[in-house]
Amino acid sequence: MGKSVLRIVDVWKSYGELEVLKGVSFELMEQEVKVIFGPSGSGKSTLLRCINMLDPPDQGEVYLSEQNLMEPGINLNIMRANIGMVFQHFNLFAHLRAINNVSIGLRRVKGVSKEEARSKALKALNQVKMAEWADHYPAQLSGGQQQRIGIARALVMEPDVILFDEPTSALDPELIGEVLQIMLELAKTGTTMIVVTHEMGFARAVASEMLFLGNGVIVERGTPQHFFVSPKSDRVKTFLKQLDILYGSHKGLLKLSKEEEDK
Amino acid sequence: MNSIPKPPNLAEIGFYIFVKGLPRTLILTVLGLLGGFVIGLSLAIMRVYGGKELNWLASGYEKLFRGIPILVLIFLFAIYLTNLYEICIGDTCFGIEPQYRPLFGVFLALALRSGAYQSQIFRGALLSVNPGQEEAARALGMSRFQALRTILLPQALRLAVPSWSNEYAVVIKDSSFALTVGIVEMTNAALQISSNFVELWAVSIGVVAIIYFLLTYPITRLFGERQTKKLKELGMGGG
Amino acid sequence: MKREFAVLGMVICVAAGFGLGWFILPLFTAEPTERKTLLEEIQDQGYIIVGTDEPWPPFEIFNVTADEWQGFDIDLSAMIAVHLGVALIMTDMDFDLLIGACKAGSIDMIAAAMMVTSTRAEQLAHSVPYIRVNEVVIVQSVSTINITSLTEITAYTVGVQSGTTQHDTLKDLGMTEGVNLLVYPKADVLMAALDLGTIDAAFVDEPVFTVYAKTYAFKSIFTVPAEPTALWCRWEEPELMKEINKVILNAFGDGSMDLLIEKWFE
């Protein structure tokens, strides 16, 4: 599969008295897509923020391409430029047009020239099929459109890995599809991704591994087949059943090819 | 006083107040607001991003200059502390010329006071920017300072505009207190007319009141509600 | 911990800087005999700042039509400025602020028909007195008030300008500020109050009454001789006072003072 992109070793995180992460470990290789799912409050968002050190873990290690992010004296800003993030509430910069939202990271963090940044940004916008909306402000766009721009913003930085924090949870149902479609295409073109989501259809289609996070620990892990055919723990079984009741499946929205449907 | 001069008509009164008084009113207002802006923004950043100690310092400044009336501040800086506006090393001195010290003193008083209030304005604005904005900026790899400069401040400053236009109105009205230390701004000009022509007292006061109103209402209206509406449309704030 | 030390260090450095500047710098730089007098400063900067309180005609008023200061005190100050070879800058403020401003150095001299009293003489040095006028109690022409002594006026509501000798006199007679003694910051407001009937009487300098009586229907019902008026400056500036006195005495000597009095007090 290639080299190690992320290595999380025994990460612990508490907020005051509350222990949110209790010894989480996994490794992410190049071109892998890991899907993390589980009940809310299980620490999924916290885990992502530990990975890009926005909220560093109390204990444990985080390695990005074998570079220890917990080392003192390390320039975390430069490291963070190599970890992309897509947020549940999009977090687009409200005062900037779409094109500038995408290009500002290149200009300010990577020091790319204005023209080059603009052309790269346009390419990224094309990739997420938002090029005609380049001059619009976020407030003028639907949730799905905003999220796609958020993905472009992360993509354009050419990061080693992109973290997705429940990217479709805040979207109206009809808009979820367009975002999942883009994420599918990204996964298929070999982008290294960690996706926290309830979208099991997506997971089934592209996840290399799925991790069930409950109460701060990885309760169960395995391939999508493992989970959808014969999950071990009862907790996981209950959870999956509830998901199916609530969300149904999104086969139609995902426009999966016939082979994938029959997987 | 031998010949009795002709009392000015309404237009002449307005003209006199405008020409004689407006320059100093504007200088004091603009410089006072600018000084207050520098002080206020620095204090706000200290309070939002500084540690406990910086916060305590900034908060102390705010309490001090919100608690002293502007008139007292003006007396202090324009009359009693004027000797400080000059630094002498041996024989060479440099500082503010004696005849401009009262003006400088009023500017100081206005700026120091306005800084305390603008600090509150900008602090509120910074805190009402959506917290996700800073998160996204940091996730891209921006330092706290870069995030502040490129993402937070532009939004915070826009959010601050309605309150800030209100502060402008306050400062321009406070500038009238400069008359107590002899500066001829608009209100003083009106009083000069009324002291020359006692029967025109009410008229000159009325005219200067209208001029102040015309200088404040359109601006607070323009930058007040309309701006708040525009900001909501753009989706800023509400954080 | 680092941050606490940093802040503590900052505060100490700032305090040390101030302390050093305050105490040590003068030790090394100033030679005691080299201190410039106000007179020299005035001549260096090319203008003298004279504080006054207008309107108090005919002593001082700013004529808006002619766009210039006019009055007895103005002309006298102009004579002094000419003698010193500098320009004259008049600045106006409330009467009771004048002494404080002069002591603080904001203004160089006071020319505001300020009468000589022992209290004032403790604060500032005064020149040779240049004129002596009366104080009068004035009422509306239609008023029926009549008094034979000053104490009788305490039965009525009287207005004065703040900080004047008239203000002190009535306070000493037992009148209560805000109750039957109304104190006004400026003369024109005081006169307007009498005209409106807010006060029964006003206690002012006689020449001022003469001027305002031209516009308002007032009459004088009691006259009191008053202290003479003088020009004032700081005790620490005897050189300046010397020059001021020179001008006044010369004016008395060569008749120009008489001309001035004739011009402003009919």
d(Cα A151, Cα A195) in Å, to the nearest integer?
Answer: 12
Query: Between chains, do B198 and C97 touch, taking CB under 8 Å as contact?
Result: no
B-C interface (Cβ pairs under 8 Å ≥ 3): yes
Per the domain annotation, does C173 fall within a domain? yes
CB-based contact, B9 to chain C, within 8 Å: no
Tokens of A3: 């080299």
Check whether residue C172 and residue C191 sit in a common domain. yes
Check whether residue C170 and residue C148 sit in a common domain. yes
Mean pLDDT of C30-59: 81
3-state secondary structure at position C234: coil
Closest Cα to residue C73, out of C105, C109, C116? C109
Q: What is the pLDDT of residue A256?
A: 46
d(Cα A4, Cα A160) in Å, to the nearest integer?
Answer: 10
Enter the pTM of the model.
0.84
Residue C134 has pLDDT above 60, yes or no: yes
**Nearest CB neighbour to A139, from listed B136, B143, B233:** B233
Q: How far is CA C114 from CA A94, C133, C206, C226, in A?
A: 65, 11, 14, 11
Q: What is the pLDDT of residue C28?
A: 55
d(Cα B187, Cα B207) in Å, to the nearest integer?
Answer: 10
Mean pLDDT of C123-141: 93
Tokens of B187: 């209100």
Q: What is the pLDDT of residue B239?
A: 44
Per the domain annotation, does A127 fall within a domain? yes
CB-based contact, C70 to chain B, within 8 Å: yes
Per the domain annotation, does A214 fall within a domain? no
Q: How far is CA A219 from CA A36, A44, A203, A230, A252, in A?
A: 11, 13, 17, 15, 30
- Pure H helices in B50-199: 52-67, 70-75, 101-128, 131-140, 144-147, 153-174, 186-196
Closest Cα to residue C235, out of C146, C144, C122, C141? C122
CB-based contact, A111 to chain B, within 8 Å: no
Q: What is the pLDDT of residue B4?
A: 64
- Write the DSSP string, C16-30: HHHHIIIIIHHHHH-
CB-based contact, B104 to chain C, within 8 Å: no
Mean pLDDT of B91-109: 86
pLDDT band at C26 (very low <50, low <70, confident <90, very high): low
Q: Which residue has the higher pLDDT, A241 or C36?
A: A241
Check whether residue C210 and residue C173 sit in a common domain. yes
Q: What is the pLDDT of residue C111?
A: 95
Query: Between chains, do A85 and B151 touch, taking CB under 8 Å as contact?
Result: no
d(Cα A195, Cα A88) in Å, to the nearest integer?
Answer: 11
Contacts of C34 in chain B (CB under 8 A): 91
Token match 């290789």: residue? Answer: A29
For B191, name the nearest residue in chain C, comparing CA atoms only.
C188
pLDDT digits over A131-157, tens only? Answer: 999 999 999 999 999 999 999 999 999
pLDDT digits over B142-181, tens only? Answer: 999 999 999 999 999 999 999 999 999 999 999 999 999 9
For B81, name the nearest residue in chain C, comparing CA atoms only.
C104
d(Cα B48, Cα B37) in Å, to the nearest integer?
Answer: 16
**Nearest-CA distance from C149 to chain B in Å?**
31
Q: What is the pLDDT of residue C22?
A: 62
Closest Cα to residue B175, out of B108, B129, B230? B108
CB-based contact, A157 to chain B, within 8 Å: yes
Check whether residue C156 and residue C114 sit in a common domain. no
pLDDT digits over B38-65, tens only? Answer: 999 999 999 998 889 899 999 999 999 9
d(Cα C196, Cα C200) in Å, to the nearest integer?
Answer: 10
C48: domain CATH number is 3.40.190.10
In terms of C-beta density within 10 A (0-12 exposed, 13-18 middle, 19 or more buried), how is residue C180 classed? middle
d(Cα C264, Cα C75) in Å, to the nearest integer?
Answer: 10
Query: Between chains, do A139 and B234 touch, taking CB under 8 Å as contact?
Result: yes
Per the domain annotation, does A138 fall within a domain? yes
pLDDT digits over B196-221, tens only? Answer: 887 888 899 999 999 999 999 999 98
Contacts of A137 in chain B (CB under 8 A): 234-235
Per the domain annotation, does C12 fall within a domain? no
Interface test with C, best of B49, B97, B192 (most C CBs within 10 A): B192
Mean pLDDT of A21-49: 91
Per the domain annotation, does C215 fall within a domain? yes
Check whether residue C177 and residue C255 sit in a common domain. no
Closest Cα to residue C222, out of C172, C158, C129? C158
**Nearest-CA distance from B235 to chain C in Å?**
37
Query: Between chains, do B139 and A84 touch, taking CB under 8 Å as contact?
Result: yes
Per the domain annotation, does A77 fall within a domain? no
Tokens of A206: 């592209």
Q: What is the pLDDT of residue C19?
A: 64
pLDDT band at C43 (very low <50, low <70, confident <90, very high): confident
**Nearest CB neighbour to C211, from listed B1, B81, B102:** B1
Per the domain annotation, does C18 fall within a domain? no
**Nearest-CA distance from B115 to chain C in Å?**
21
Residue C18 has pLDDT above 90, yes or no: no
**Nearest-CA distance from A231 to chain B in Å?**
35
The answer to whether the beta carbons of residues B81 and B105 sit under 8 Å apart is yes
- Write the DSSP string, C56-75: BTTTBEEETTTTEEESHHHH
Q: Which domain holds residue C181?
A: 133-227
Per the domain annotation, does A185 fall within a domain? no
Tell me what percent of the residues of chain C surpass a pLDDT of 70: 91
3-state secondary structure at position B95: strand
Instruction: List the subunits that have 3+ CB pairs under 8 angstroms with C.
Output: B
Q: How far is CA A148 from CA A177, A180, A210, in A?
A: 11, 9, 23
**Nearest-CA distance from C187 to chain B in Å?**
8
pLDDT digits over C149-193, tens only? Answer: 999 998 999 999 999 999 999 999 999 988 899 999 888 889 989
Interface test with A, best of B134, B138, B140, B230 (most A CBs within 10 A): B140
Q: What is the pLDDT of residue B2?
A: 45
Per the domain annotation, does A147 fall within a domain? yes
For A108, name the nearest residue in chain B, comparing CA atoms only.
B142
Contacts of A93 in chain B (CB under 8 A): 133, 136-137, 151
Per the domain annotation, does A150 fall within a domain? yes
Per the domain annotation, does A183 fall within a domain? no
- Write the DSSP string, chain A: --SEEEEEEEEEEEETTEEEEEEEEEEEETT-EEEEE-STTSSHHHHHHHHTTSS--SEEEEEETTEETTSTT--HHHHHTTEEEE-TT----TTS-HHHHHHHHHHHTS---HHHHHHHHHHHHHHTT-GGGTT--GGGS-HHHHHHHHHHHHHTT--SEEEEESTTTTS-HHHHHHHHHHHHHHHHTT--EEEE-S-HHHHHHH-SEEEEEETTEEEEEE-HHHHHH---SHHHHHHHHHHHHHH---HHHHT--HHHHT-
d(Cα C253, Cα A144) in Å, to the nearest integer?
Answer: 97
Contacts of A54 in chain B (CB under 8 A): 135, 138-139
pLDDT digits over A75-133, tens only? Answer: 899 999 999 999 999 999 999 999 999 999 999 999 999 999 999 999 999 999 999 99
Query: Between chains, do C101 and B79 touch, taking CB under 8 Å as contact?
Result: yes
SS (H, E, C) C177-213: ECCCEEEECCHHHHHHHHHHCCCCEEEEEHHHHHHHC
Rounded to a whole number of angstroms, the CA Rg of chain A reads 18
**Nearest-CA distance from B168 to chain C in Å?**
26
- What is the distance, to the nearest Å, from the Cα of residue A24 to the centroid of all Cα atoms in its chain? 17
Q: Which domain holds residue A101?
A: 83-158
- Reported as half-sphere exposure (CB side, CA atoms, 13 A), residue A146 has a value of 22
Contacts of B150 in chain A (CB under 8 A): 104, 108
For B153, name the nearest residue in chain A, comparing CA atoms only.
A95
Mean pLDDT of C6-27: 69
Residue A231 bridge partners (DSSP): none
pLDDT digits over C237-247, tens only? Answer: 999 999 999 99
pLDDT digits over A173-229, tens only? Answer: 899 999 999 999 999 999 999 999 988 889 988 999 999 998 889 988 999 888 888
The answer to whether the beta carbons of residues B88 and C36 sit under 8 Å apart is no
- Give ipTM to 2 decimals: 0.87
Task: State how many domains chain C has.
Answer: 2
pLDDT band at C36 (very low <50, low <70, confident <90, very high): confident
Query: Between chains, do B182 and C92 touch, taking CB under 8 Å as contact?
Result: yes
- Least confident span in A247-251, B24-28, C200-204, C245-249: A247-251
Task: State how many domains chain A has.
Answer: 1
Check whether residue C77 and residue C208 sit in a common domain. no
Q: What is the pLDDT of residue C118?
A: 92
**Nearest-CA distance from A50 to chain B in Å?**
12
What structural domains does chain B harbor?
19-231 (1.10.3720.10)
Phi, psi of A31 (to 5 degrees): 65, 5
Q: What is the pLDDT of residue A259?
A: 45
Check whether residue C137 and residue C79 sit in a common domain. no
pLDDT band at C15 (very low <50, low <70, confident <90, very high): confident
Per the domain annotation, does C3 fall within a domain? no
**Nearest-CA distance from B139 to chain A in Å?**
6
3-state secondary structure at position B166: helix
**Nearest CB neighbour to A108, from listed B132, B150, B234:** B150
Per the domain annotation, does C128 fall within a domain? yes
d(Cα A183, Cα A196) in Å, to the nearest integer?
Answer: 12
